[in-house]
Every structure is written in structure tokens, then in C-alpha cells.
């Protein structure tokens, strides 16, 4: 695909590295969305980053609106985080024995969130996988409920999401009595048996939740939800929706697993729970964290009620372990990041997000491109659609071709957006006036590029 309105030559070094990468790695990337499949073109190979800026192997600079898909809350190469990490590395990098930064990071997470205890792992995927196992072990039940469009990592049982959830539920209800599959895997390589115990529902749909629990309530171990979904674009919970989920789970003796891998320590100091549960007076039974809490290193966690966590090995019968879990370098980086993530940081993120949202809306309005901007705390995304987006079905009904043109026009003007219309845009404490102005300056031309595509297809 050629970028509309492209003002730049091809990024020759990135093109060359992408070719080398594709020879030795499937698709040339180690996580699929980096490959630019949804927007076309060549992913930029990044040589270095500092603050709000990325530098690619061709020497071009970009304002980063991915922030490593969330973790870089303070911006890249934060001097104090780096100082502490560099110092920690001189003491060795992993011992396979307990360390003090693990305890301090756990204390910081317990202080900010409603969990009593946490267990560290190395990725968000491991966190949700372990939380589900723990919920099943604790309740002695087998079924798991999730929402279409919510992503919880590449756990077999949670890779069921595609298609209309209501149809999935009806389908499930009709087959459930004979003990057959509840939902269909969303990935090749996941056997039906792995998702057979997963019920998929449409997000923000209380009626579907009630129906599922009425039908299967005594078999449901857990309901897992993104605290505020950001993996289908940002689709905030309707007011009271998370409280309703908590109450429903309590009523049926199921555990609410609130996945805050993306929202945790990003949308507010206390994550999405700080915006709803804390105010409304409820808490999830289990929570999962990742991204920001690793400070740019592989660290994640799951945690929750002490009586539930007591079922984990070595105290209880639910097995879970990891060679690099709680790695001292990763926990040092996470701890430094959380300690520096003060109220001022979140206020700055809000301010920057508001500036970019306002300018994006204005540019798209001026160009006549239908759009919806949705937010959860400091996290937001732009849907190229003419309708509100309360769920996955609505998220899928957007103009992805217009987004691709918009994306490339932004990239050509030095703004590195997520290369998909179904992702959140992330800002950091290091996004200063110069970075924001670069984004604002790029928006009108990008909106025009999107408008041109829409005119061409109308």
C-alpha cells in the first residue's frame, strides 16, 4: 500500500531490516500487530528512544503514541528509572531466590489497589492464565465467562471472542445441555476442547450476563473482563456496569477477575478500579496487572482476596511457578516507575490526552470524516465510525481503509500511532509541548488523507 500524501522517501534501512527479519522470524516480528498488516507498509525498526520520541534505523524521529502499548507511562529512558536499573544490574540479574524489590513492588501494588496479595509473573498472558486456574481451583467449577472484543493475552481458553457474542451465547445455550462446545476458538491451533468451557458475551450487555448466569451460574468459576476495554479500541464500561458484574458474581459464588493489565496504573493512579470500584464501594475478587507495573521490563502480576490467594502453591493446591517471576531488574524498574507515577503525572497525561483528542476531533470534523473518540481515564482511541461504540460488533463497523490512510499520513509527519484502528493511543509524562505540537500539526493533513479515501470509495 502506498501512503496517501506521502512526503517521504521509503525508509530504506527499515525496509532492509524487515527483509532480514522476515527470513528468520515469521512475518518479521515477535508480536503480530507490529507487522503493519492492518495498514500496509514497512514497520519502522527502532534504534533508540528518549522521552516522547522514537528514532528509527533511518535516523527519523517520531512522537510515540504507542508507548510500548502502554508500559512507558513516564516516557522512554527516564533518567531515574535507568539509574536504578543500571545499579541493580551490577548486583547480578537473577538468582532464583527471593529478593527485596519483589516485596517492595508487591507492597506498592497492594497500597494502590484493593488486592490483599499479589503473585508476580512475566507477562499479562501468564497473569490471566494463572488467575483463571486459581479461580477454578478455588471454586471447584469449570466455566469461564468473557466478553467479545476483550483481549486477555494468548491463553488458549481465552482466545474465543470472534463473532457476535449474542449468537455465541444462544449457540452455547442450545448446545450446553448436551455438554458440547460453548464457543469456537478464535485462533488456529486452539482445540475446541480448550474453549469449550468459555462463554463469550457482548460487552456492556447486562441482559446477556444475567441470562448466562441464570443458565449456568452454579458452574461458572469466573467472569473475566478488561476493567475498561482497550483492545478493540477504547470501549469504556457503561456507568455501573463493572459494579453490576461484581454483584452478579457475588450472587452466584463466581469470582470477578478484573484484567487491569492495560488500565492498571495508567488510566489513574489506582487504575480503572480507582475510577469506579473505589468510588462505588466494591472490589474484584482477583485482578491482573502488567505493562506499566514492569516499567518497560517483562513483569506482570495477579492478585486479590487473601483467602483466594491462599489456594496458590506453596500454601495451597493450585500450582503456579516461574523461573524469572519477580525478576529483580524488572521489579526494580516497576517499583521506580510506580514511585515516580504521582498524581501530577496522571494530571499531565489527562491534559495531553485532552489536547490531542480535541485537535483530532477538530481535524476530522473539518475534513468531514465521521469519527467517535472514546476514553477511559487517560487512555483514548479514535473510531472511524458514525455511531457510538459500546461493544465489539460496533467497533468492527468502522472504516479501516480511512484509518490506514490517516495512519500513514501521521507517520510521514513524524507521529507513530498504533498501526490498527482497534487499539488505544497512549501518551506519557514526557509528552511535552514540542511533542504535542508535532501531533497537532500532523492531524489536518492526516484527516484530509482519510477524507480522500472515503470520497474515492463512496
By CB under 6 A, name the binding residues for ligand PLP.
Answer: 123-125, 128, 151-153, 226, 231, 259, 261-262, 290, 300
Which of 200/262 has CB closer to ligand PLP? 262
Name the minimum Å distance from CB 367 to ligand PLP. 31
Using alpha carbons, list the distances in angstroms from residue 37 to 69, 320, 438.
17, 35, 25
When the beta carbons of 34 and 175 are compared against ligand PLP, the nearer one is 34
Q: Give the residue nearest to ligand PLP (CB).
A: 124
The least distance separating ligand PLP from the CB of residue 231, rounded to whole angstroms, comes to: 5
Nearer to ligand PLP, 165 or 414 (CB): 165
Rounded least distance, CB 31 to ligand PLP, Å: 7
Residues in a beta bridge with 312: 318
Calpha distance 337→347 (Å, rounded) = 16
What is the C-alpha separation between 422 and 266, in angstroms, rounded? Answer: 18
Taking the C-alpha atoms of residue 188 and residue 224, their distance in angstroms, rounded to an integer, is 22
Residues known to be catalytic: 151, 259, 291
Contact between 326 and 293 (Cβ < 8 Å): no
> In angstroms, what CA-CA distances link 404 with 302, 397, 408, 421, 428?
36, 15, 6, 8, 24
Q: Which lies closer to ligand PLP via its Cβ, residue 25 or residue 210?
A: 25
Q: Among the residues of 303-387, which ranges form H helices?
A: 306-309, 328-340, 343-367
Nearer to ligand PLP, 41 or 149 (CB): 149
User: CB of residue 158 vs ligand PLP: minimum separation in angstroms?
Assistant: 9
Q: Which is nearer to ligand PLP, 288 or 448 (CB)?
A: 288
Smallest gap from residue 392 Cβ to ligand PLP (A): 14
Contact indicator for 296, 72 with CB cutoff of 8 Å: yes
Residue pair 232/269 in contact (Cβ under 8 Å)? The answer is: no
Closer residue to ligand PLP (CB): 128 or 242: 128
Contact assessment for residue 263 and residue 228, using Cβ atoms and an 8 Å cutoff? yes
- Minimum distance from CB of 101 to ligand PLP (Å)? 19
For the beta sheet containing 255-259, the strands, ordered from the edge strand earlier in sequence to the opposite edge, are: 117-121, 300-304, 286-289, 255-259, 220-226, 143-147, 198-201
Smallest separation, CB 151 to ligand PLP (Å): 6
The answer to whether 340 and 106 are in contact (CB under 8 A) is no
Enter the C-alpha cell of residue 387: 455511531
Which helix (H) or strand (E) element contains residue 86? helix 79-89
**End-to-end CA, the chain:** 19
Amino acid at each position: 500500500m502506498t501512503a496517501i500524501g506521502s512526503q517521504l522517501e521509503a525508509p530504506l534501512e527499515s525496509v532492509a531490516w524487515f527483509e532480514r527479519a522476515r527470513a528468520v522470524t515469521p512475518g518479521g516480528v515477535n508480536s503480530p500487530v507490529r507487522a503493519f498488516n492492518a495498514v500496509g507498509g514497512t514497520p519502522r525498526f527502532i534504534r533508540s528512544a528518549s522521552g516522547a520520541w522514537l528514532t528509527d534505523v533511518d535516523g527519523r524521529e517520531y512522537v510515540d503514541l504507542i508507548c510500548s502499548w502502554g508500559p512507558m507511562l513516564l516516557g522512554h529512558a527516564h533518567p531515574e528509572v535507568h539509574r536504578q536499573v543500571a545499579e541493580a544490574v551490577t548486583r547480578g540479574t537473577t538468582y532464583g531466590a527471593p529478593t527485596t524489590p519483589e516485596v517492595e513492588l508487591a507492597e506498592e501494588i497492594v497500597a494502590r489497589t484493593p488486592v490483599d496479595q499479589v503473585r508476580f509473573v512475566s507477562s499479562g498472558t501468564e497473569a490471566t492464565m494463572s488467575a483463571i486456574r486459581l479461580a477454578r481451583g478455588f471454586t471447584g467449577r469449570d466455566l469461564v465467562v468473557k466478553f467479545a472484543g476483550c483481549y486477555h493475552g494468548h491463553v488458549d481458553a481465552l482466545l474465543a471472542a470472534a463473532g457476535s457474542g449474542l449468537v455465541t451465547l444462544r449457540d452455547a445455550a442450545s448446545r450446553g445441555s448436551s455438554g458440547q462446545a460453548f464457543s469456537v476458538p478464535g485462533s488456529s491451533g486452539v482445540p475446541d476442547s480448550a474453549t469449550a468451557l468459555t462463554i463469550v458475551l457482548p460487552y456492556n450487555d447486562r441482559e446477556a450476563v444475567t441470562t448466562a448466569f441464570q443458565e449456568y451460574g452454579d458452574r461458572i468459576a469466573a467472569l473475566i473482563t478488561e476493567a475498561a476495554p482497550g483492545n478493540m479500541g477504547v470501549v469504556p464500561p457503561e456507568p455501573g456496569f463493572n459494579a453490576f458484574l461484581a454483584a452478579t458474581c457475588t450472587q452466584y459464588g463466581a469470582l470477578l477477575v478484573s484484567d487491569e493489565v492495560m488500565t492498571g496504573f495508567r488510566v489513574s493512579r489506582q487504575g480503572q478500579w480507582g475510577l469506579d470500584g473505589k468510588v462505588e464501594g466494591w472490589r474484584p475478587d482477583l485482578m491482573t496487572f502488567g505493562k506499566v507495573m514492569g516499567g518497560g521490563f517483562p513483569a506482570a502480576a495477579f492478585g486479590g482476596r487473601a483467602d483466594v490467594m491462599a489456594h496458590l502453591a506453596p500454601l495451597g493446591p493450585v500450582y503456579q511457578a516461574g523461573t524469572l517471576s519477580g525478576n529483580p531488574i524488572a521489579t526494580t524498574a516497576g517499583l521506580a516507575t510506580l514511585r515516580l507515577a504521582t498524581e501530577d503525572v496522571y494530571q499531565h497525561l489527562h491534559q495531553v490526552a485532552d489536547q490531542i483528542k480535541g485537535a483530532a476531533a477538530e481535524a476530522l470534523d473539518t475534513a468531514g470524516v465521521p469519527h467517535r473518540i472514546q476514553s477511559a481515564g487517560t487512555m483514548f482511541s479514535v473510531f472511524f465510525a458514525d455511531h457510538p461504540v459500546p461493544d465489539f460488533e460496533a467497533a468492527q463497523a468502522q472504516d479501516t481503509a480511512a484509518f490506514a490512510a490517516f495512519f500513514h499520513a501521521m507517520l510521514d509527519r513524524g507521529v507513530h500511532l498504533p498501526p490498527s484502528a482497534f487499539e488505544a493511543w497512549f501518551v506519557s509524562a514526557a509528552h511535552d509541548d514540542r511533542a504535542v505540537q508535532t501531533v497537532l500539526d500532523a492531524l489536518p493533513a492526516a484527516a484530509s488523507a482519510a477524507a480522500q479515501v472515503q470520497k474515492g470509495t463512496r
